[in-house]
Structure 1
Amino acid sequence: MDFDAVLIAPRRAASVAAGHWHDRTINDYLADCVRERPDAPALTAVSLDRGTVVRYSWSELARLADRVAAGLSGLGIGARDVVSCQLPNGWHLTVLYLACTRLGAVLNPLMPIFRERELAFMLAHAECKVVVVPETFRGFAHAQMVRGLRGALPALRHVVVADGEGPDSFEALLTGKDAPVAPAQLPHGSPGPDDVTQLIYTSGTTGEPKGAMHTANTLFSNIVAYAARLGLGADDVVLMASPMAHQTGFMYGLMMPVMLGAHAVLQDIWDPARAAALIRKQGVTFTMGSTPFLTDLARVVAESGTPVPSLRTFLCAGAPIPGALVERARATLGATIVSAWGMSENGAVTMTLPDDPETRASTTDGCPLPGVEIRVVDGADADLPAGQTGRLLVRACSNFGGYLKRPHLNSTDADGWFDTGDLARLDADGYLRIAGRSKDVIIRGGENIPVLEVETLLYRHPAVAQVAIVAYPDARLGERACAFVVPRAGQSIDMAGMVDWLRQQKMALQYIPEKLVLREALPATPAGKIQKFRLREMLLGETG
């Protein structure tokens, strides 16, 4: 694959001179861990789906990464080849990325919720040569699904099955060699700090997902600043229950612990009671997730009456945090609640400071991390004063290298300002508040719903004449999706019919609207554009 990360070279000199780009890859950080703390705990992977616990020290993790790299090489994987994976949080995902970086290959993590429709596009667009999936996860047959897509994926050479038992299993193809592998025996292909190392797809707000390309420099420039602001170090224990196929889990649950030399504890299915037990047993000091994670954890700790004294910080991102939740969680967990905002293209952009007043976490999304600049501008790109809402632009050392095969969508000007597509305002102290999204996305429990794609599929339903999907607030998930539908004359559609139709289209279940409202007409401008703000107002008026 020819990765043309056009946004990297123009800012290299300035990023290095400013001390934001460190020219180190995850191979360098892992080597530090093996040299300085070889027998210290590196990874504890807890699978609630399979009922297993796997533990590795740093030396064991490095040896396994070498072994898997040799296995990938045997499958024909080398520099700049794409390895996709649809894996839950666990040791397979961490080791697979470390192995890919040994070869200079690019890892493409994919959310386990994706089904045929999403995967068919992403795997073909990435031209992946190997895809790694579980045999089953949460009762769904992932391996069977991907095997069924092979006819439409000419670049795909191998489907590797994690925890499988046949000849295509992860264990047989990638870890089945008896002799240990020395790094000197591996093919020479380790990436440089400006080579693309990760390809991650954003939700499709323009009709199809976009593959954001990242390098070691773009990722670690953010991770270093993130950890420094939170005061994290090698003695911390990081719990990651947010999906590692998201940038959140990947950067701060997979990469950050290696950079710090800290112990990572991974949980594959969110269960707040098990998370609380893990925090106590493993001495977890830091975790992060979207608002529902914080709500659930605070609830089970309060109900059980058993504290989590080791937990110092919970970082909450993905949706605004209600003030009452911050107060309740702080009192119940005894941890500092930090709010943050970011994107796949940048990682975390803003974050409150641990010593900020509690109200900051519920009223703002934080202030920029080191190496990050933000502007709120009007339609003519003129800066707006504090308190006024406008378009949010970001210029960051962690800005991505561009979209794979879609440079015309990079939304970055000649001065390096990236148009996020979001609306925001700044307060007098420079703290950000996301006020809405100019791109049409609903964030449900931290997961972006590609509204345009869902609407397009519903328009194909024989009973649908018009459809518009909008968000409505939810106390636990932040937002849920409601479909406003105008039925065709003489036709009818109900909630069950809508859900069944979208499931037939192989859409991820989390993307399916959870409310249906039928109307004879939808509010529109004189030009015929549906006025979604009026639909939101109508919905709020009905639901209170």
Structure 2
Amino acid sequence: MTAADAYRAAGWWRDETVLHDLRRWARERPDRAALVCYRGTAHESVSYAELARRVDRLAVGLLRLGVRRGDVVTLQLPNSWELVALCLAAARVGAVPGPVVPVMRRREVEFMTRLTASPVYIGASQTRGFSYGEMSAEVAGAVPTLRHRVLLGASTEDLAGGALDFGRDLYAPEPDPELLASLDAIEAGPDDAGQIMFTSGTTGEPKGVVHSHNTLYSMNRAQADVLGLTGDEVTAMGSPTTHQAGFTWNFVMPLLLGATAVQVDRWDPRLMLRTLQEQRVTFFMGAPTFLSDLIDAQRETPHDLSALRSFATGSAPIAPLLVEDAREVLGCRVYALWGMTENGCVTVTRPGQPVLRAAESDGTPVPGMEVRIVGRNGEPVEPGTAGLLQVRGSAQCLGYFRRHAVYDACVTADGWFDTGDLARDDGHGGIRITGRVKDVIMRGAENIPVVEVEGALLRHRAVKDVAVVGYPDARLGERACAFLVTQGAAPGLEDVRAHLAGLGMARTYWPERLELVPALPRTPSGKIQKFALRDRLRAQEGRTAS
């Protein structure tokens, strides 16, 4: 029996796609809101029946532009019904959605469209003062395959430069009956590519992670099941839907359940509180920084959040105080998770566990996925010892688009994917992330467990956010610097060291430098950009040397 056969037999793969889910709910609960989309304070509700109609209209529009099976449709849009419907419309014509986060610029978009040979770019004309119309024109001039640029709110200048208008040229008011009838024969199947999602590329060229409709189904089915989520949920999050977290937790998963997904076009904690109250949101997913922002905003201006039950978070250590504040201030329970673009949510804490487990663990594996922790040569490690985190299972991606050798180098002979993360057993059958292989600080002959140091620092009541990075040292090779975002009276270096000593942490792991900053640089999904902090330290050292 092949792995695919085993996944099907276990129910983690199926013979349907999200398009079947959409049609199912359009029949069974046609008036249920599939999406509630906010542009600032204004919002629009789109029912399942209406979403299905809009998807077909856009699918016919894509066919008219010459999009064919296997083509990658590049989508650089803010959170909106247009983005969700276009992802589904691409699958409807057998094509593959290629989401691109809005913060990406010409260099990244050119690289992605060239690699995928994308024939169509769809974006907003302008967002937050940046002209995607001008940028996409430059990209089209450099990428021969990019035949069409379709823009929401296309300006006169955009149209004069060869761009197409979303409403006039793509979103046809009355789909051609003949083209509409042809869609069923060409739409994507469960084992076809359902997404090409690029990694951030902060350590090199971004990699295009390829997921099938079945690997996407598996990750979303599993995360919904372990948290007990149902079709009655109203979900929301602060991340872009063009990021894997937003794509899965706030698009594919609610669609699978027949739930309602609330989409906001930009992150603003005060507006989000208003949205959570207005829409009676029950489930939220986002990085710890989003959780912290909401707690601060709720303290300042309380809203009725009585519907909010769960907040799933990951990508960074979670302070015990944050877990407690979420319960006291927001009235919800926090769940910690770990995952990657390559495999979605792999581990998560559970409802039946103690509430503070979210501050101590990154969770246990979801059904369909396995994890193991090994040494450098693949040998098992002792319980409690950090090692290389490897995973395999039904939600693992198919590979990296046109970079097969790069992906193959990450997979062991017995089929385990090397994540590049370091972890240890959490003592409860789960894992605790201790750092990244490329993020290790080697102080003398001792590896500093960066994530554990960050987690310990977050237990200081004055520390709101933290990042520990290494900086060069002539004698020891590297030393550790802690960047802190604080609240109240800011601690000094000796205060921090005393705190860590009180927790019983070895002196070798204590930071030897402290930098107080108003905020940490982050990606749109909330991950800390440690390379920017290292650059800052190098610049400071350069000025000192001068």
Query: What TM-score range do you get, normalising by the shorter chain?
Result: 0.7 to 0.9
Q: Distance in 1 between matches of 2:341 and 2:330?
A: 29
Does structure 1 conserve the Cα–Cα contact (< 8 Å) formed by 2:80 and 2:265? yes
Q: What is residue 323 of structure 2 aligned with on the other side? A: 326
Does structure 2 conserve the Cα–Cα contact (< 8 Å) formed by 1:86 and 1:133? yes
Give 1:518 shift. 4.8
Q: What is residue 427 of structure 2 aligned with on the other side? A: 428
Give 1:470 shift. 9.0
Q: What is residue 225 of structure 2 aligned with on the other side? A: 228
Indicate whether 1:158 and 2:154 are aligned: no
Amino acid of the structure 2 residue aligned with 1:108: G
Deviations 1:451-500 (A, max 9, x none): 9xxxxxxxxxxxxxxxx999854448xxxxxxxxxxxxxxxxxxxxxxxx
Give 1:10 shift. 5.3
Q: Distance in 2 between matches of 1:306 and 1:221?
A: 35
| Cα distance change of structure 1 residues 58 and 471 upon mapping to structure 2, 3 Å threshold | farther
Match 1:380 to one of 371, 377, 381: 377
Give 1:146 shift. 1.1
Give 1:520 shift. 10
| Cα distance change of structure 1 residues 14 and 102 upon mapping to structure 2, 3 Å threshold | same
Give matches, 1:299-314, under 5 Å: 299-314=296-311
| Cα distance change of structure 1 residues 247 and 367 upon mapping to structure 2, 3 Å threshold | same
Match 1:195 to one of 192, 196, 208: 192
After alignment, is 228-237 or 512-521 more displaced? Answer: 512-521
Gaps of 5+ in 2: 441-449, 455-466, 470-477, 487-527
Amino acid of the structure 1 residue aligned with 2:13: W
Indicate whether 1:23 and 2:15 are aligned: yes
Indicate whether 1:516 and 2:536 are aligned: yes
Deviations 1:63-98 (A, max 9, x none): 000000000000000110010111111111101011
Match 1:125 to one of 99, 115, 125: 115
Q: Distance in 2 between matches of 1:97 and 1:471?
A: 42
Q: Distance in 1 between matches of 2:22 and 2:342?
A: 24
Give matches, 1:403-414, under 5 Å: 403-410=400-407, 411-414=410-413
Give 1:22 shift. 1.9
Give 1:11 shift. 2.2
Q: Distance in 2 between matches of 1:86 and 1:378?
A: 40
* Higher RCO, 1 vs 2 (CA within 8 Å, ≥6 residues apart): 1
Give matches, 1:482-497, under 5 Å: none
Does structure 2 conserve the Cα–Cα contact (< 8 Å) formed by 1:23 and 1:216? no
Give matches, 1:247-326, under 5 Å: 247-326=244-323
SS at 2:438's partner residue? coil
Indicate whether 1:175 and 2:171 are aligned: yes
Give 1:239 shift. 1.1
Amino acid of the structure 1 residue aligned with 2:174: D
Q: What is the count of residue pairs matched by the alignment?
A: 460
Q: Distance in 1 between matches of 2:241 and 2:292?
A: 20
| Cα distance change of structure 1 residues 68 and 438 upon mapping to structure 2, 3 Å threshold | same
Q: Distance in 1 between matches of 2:218 and 2:51?
A: 24
Q: Distance in 1 between matches of 2:269 and 2:236?
A: 12
Give 1:47 shift. 1.3
Indicate whether 1:106 and 2:126 are aligned: no
Indicate whether 1:88 and 2:78 are aligned: yes
Q: Distance in 2 between matches of 1:511 and 1:379?
A: 24
Amino acid of the structure 2 residue aligned with 1:393: Q
Q: Distance in 2 between matches of 1:265 and 1:518?
A: 42
Does structure 2 conserve the Cα–Cα contact (< 8 Å) formed by 1:37 and 1:58? yes
Give 1:306 shift. 2.9
Does structure 2 conserve the Cα–Cα contact (< 8 Å) formed by 1:240 and 1:264? no
Q: Distance in 2 between matches of 1:326 and 1:520?
A: 35
Indicate whether 1:213 and 2:205 are aligned: no
Does structure 2 conserve the Cα–Cα contact (< 8 Å) formed by 1:109 and 1:200? yes
Does structure 1 conserve the Cα–Cα contact (< 8 Å) formed by 2:60 and 2:175? no
| Cα distance change of structure 1 residues 328 and 105 upon mapping to structure 2, 3 Å threshold | same
Does structure 2 conserve the Cα–Cα contact (< 8 Å) formed by 1:205 and 1:439? no
Does structure 2 conserve the Cα–Cα contact (< 8 Å) formed by 1:127 and 1:155? yes
| Cα distance change of structure 1 residues 11 and 66 upon mapping to structure 2, 3 Å threshold | same
| Cα distance change of structure 1 residues 178 and 436 upon mapping to structure 2, 3 Å threshold | same
Deviations 1:417-439 (A, max 9, x none): 10001111112222211111013
Deviations 1:169-226 (A, max 9, x none): 1111211333576842437311111111100111326621111100011011110010
| Cα distance change of structure 1 residues 352 and 151 upon mapping to structure 2, 3 Å threshold | same
Superposition RMSD in Å: 2.7
Q: Distance in 2 between matches of 1:511 and 1:153?
A: 32
Q: Distance in 1 between matches of 2:263 and 2:480?
A: 34
Give 1:413 shift. 2.5
Amino acid of the structure 2 residue aligned with 1:171: G
Does structure 2 conserve the Cα–Cα contact (< 8 Å) formed by 1:113 and 1:510? no
Q: Distance in 2 between matches of 1:179 and 1:513?
A: 48
Q: Distance in 2 between matches of 1:368 and 1:290?
A: 19
SS at 1:353's partner residue? coil
SS at 1:114's partner residue? coil
SS at 1:392's partner residue? strand
Q: What is residue 42 of structure 1 aligned with on the other side? A: 34
Give matches, 1:347-496, under 5 Å: 347-410=344-407, 411-440=410-439, 472-475=482-485
Indicate whether 1:145 and 2:135 are aligned: yes
Deviations 1:138-175 (A, max 9, x none): 11111211111212101101011023355611111211
TM-score by length of 2: 0.79
Q: Distance in 1 between matches of 2:290 and 2:538?
A: 33
Q: Distance in 2 between matches of 1:333 and 1:225?
A: 26
Give 1:330 shift. 1.3
Amino acid of the structure 2 residue aligned with 1:36: E
| Cα distance change of structure 1 residues 354 and 380 upon mapping to structure 2, 3 Å threshold | same
Q: Distance in 1 between matches of 2:133 and 2:379?
A: 51
Deviations 1:201-257 (A, max 9, x none): 113266211111000110111100101111111111011321111110001111111
Deviations 1:298-343 (A, max 9, x none): 1111221333100000111111111111111111111111111100
SS at 1:149's partner residue? helix
Sequence identity, in percent? 41
Q: What is residue 61 of structure 1 aligned with on the other side? A: 51
Amino acid of the structure 2 residue aligned with 1:517: L
Indicate whether 1:75 and 2:65 are aligned: yes
Does structure 2 conserve the Cα–Cα contact (< 8 Å) formed by 1:164 and 1:171? no
Q: What is residue 535 of structure 1 aligned with on the other side? A: none
Indicate whether 1:241 and 2:238 are aligned: yes
| Cα distance change of structure 1 residues 262 and 79 upon mapping to structure 2, 3 Å threshold | same
Q: What is residue 496 of structure 2 aligned with on the other side? A: none
Q: Distance in 1 between matches of 2:230 and 2:185?
A: 31
Q: Distance in 1 between matches of 2:151 and 2:326?
A: 39
Q: Distance in 2 between matches of 1:385 and 1:512?
A: 32
Deviations 1:485-530 (A, max 9, x none): xxxxxxxxxxxxxxxxxxxxxxxx97982562358989xxxxxxxx
Q: Distance in 1 between matches of 2:58 and 2:538?
A: 53
Give 1:118 shift. 1.4
SS at 1:218's partner residue? helix
